[in-house]
Amino acid sequence: MHPIIIIGSGLAGYNTAKELRKLDTATPLVVIASDSSAFYSKPMLSNAIASKKTPAALALNTPEQMSEQLKGNVRAGTCVDAIDTAAHTLKIGDETLHYSKLVLALGADQIRLPISGSGAADIQTVNDLDDYARFRSAIDGKKRVAIIGAGLIGCEFANDLAAGGYAVDIIDIAQQALGRLLPAEGGAMLKDKLSALGVQWHLGTSVQSVDSVDGGYSLTLANGASLQADIVLSAVGLKPRTALAAAAGIKVNRGIVADRNLATSAPNVYTLGDCAEIEGMVMPYVMPIMHASRALAQTLAGKPTAVSFPAMPVMVKTPACPTIVAPPAIGAAGTWQVEATADGVKSLFTAADGKLLGFALNGAATAERAKLAPQLPAVLA
């Protein structure tokens, strides 16, 4: 019997394997990943500094332990070179592996902006535990970190680094913090709370160059300003990993295209997680992965199951300003209704008939999550 093979050992890959083993303990199972393949919680990467958790402490299980738990074979540090969907095989160097079913849980890459300068190649990104270990090593003994990007990950790292004693500068072309998720009033509150921790903001501009200077870096901004940093971290968004699938002739768009059963255009090949585009949606968050992995496990075990996504509010890990967002669907028609107080901002996105389509809650307003969330429409019913 050929195994079910999962490419990817992040939350999507490992959680699918775990859910499958609840239903099927007999089918051979192989997990392949190019990284170290430790099992860890990726959301912890952006809030471990202030809590003094080391990269080693974030790793909950080794690949060997995961192999034992899954009654399968975890192959860490292994790159899949090609997929032959007709032959149901993978190529790893000179090795050929046969699969019965294949799951692409490839994740996504951090987007790298076209920045010039002698220090541009040193710009750090954090996309997995291995990246984070390198970042933690790089900032050891340093004092000032510049973050490119004031989105969710940029703000979370800014909060964590500032709370951990680092001086932090954030640069973003947007005019506010969390510009894609929050209306202006919520963004202003988040900015003010992080400013109180010492975070310095450079909004409405971009980084043109990063140059190596005296063991650190000099950043030149598009508005003519410059600033100094010991380390530069880029957090400007994710791009689904689609190259392996595309080379195999599997349909890709923004991500690897999948239907409600998480099936791709190739027979017996499925996808989920940050690399997947499910019914036109790319959702790089934890809750969609959890719902998708449970549904896919049923399908892999012989019971085809369509995934459903309820409303899934996202908690932004900025303790200085607790923030929860449930963004409206792209293109949804409605308006933001904002109530701001001294200790919170409640922003409701409503349709013309008053139906709640999304919300953003800051500070004390996050207490209303439990009341508001059930009123939201499902993302994919």
50/56 Cα distance (integer angstroms): 15
CA 85 – CA 88 distance, rounded (Å): 5
Say if CB 150 and CB 179 are below 8 A apart. Answer: yes
The pTM score is 0.95
CB distance 144 to 219 below 8 Å: no
Start-end of CATH 3.50.50.60 domains in the chain:
4-109+239-300, 112-234
Is 322-375 assigned to CATH 3.40.50.720? no
Residues of the chain falling short of pLDDT 50 = none
Q: Give the phi and the psi of residue 376 in degrees, each rounded to 5.
A: -80, 150
Give yes or no for a contact between 277 and 235, defined as CB atoms under 8 angstroms apart. Answer: no
DSSP secondary-structure letter at 179?
T
Please name every residue paired with 356 in a beta bridge, in sequence order, or none if there are none.
350
Q: What are the tens digits of pLDDT across the range 194-235?
A: 999 999 999 999 999 999 999 999 999 999 999 999 999 999
CATH class of the domain defined by 112-234: alpha beta
Asked whether the beta carbons of 275 and 255 are under 8 A apart, the reply is yes
pLDDT at 202: 98
Q: Which SS3 state, helix, strand or coil, does residue 116 take?
A: strand
CATH T-level fold of 4-109+239-300: FAD/NAD(P)-binding domain (3.50.50)
Residues forming CATH 3.30.390.120 domain(s) in the chain = 322-375
Please give the pLDDT value at position 121: 96
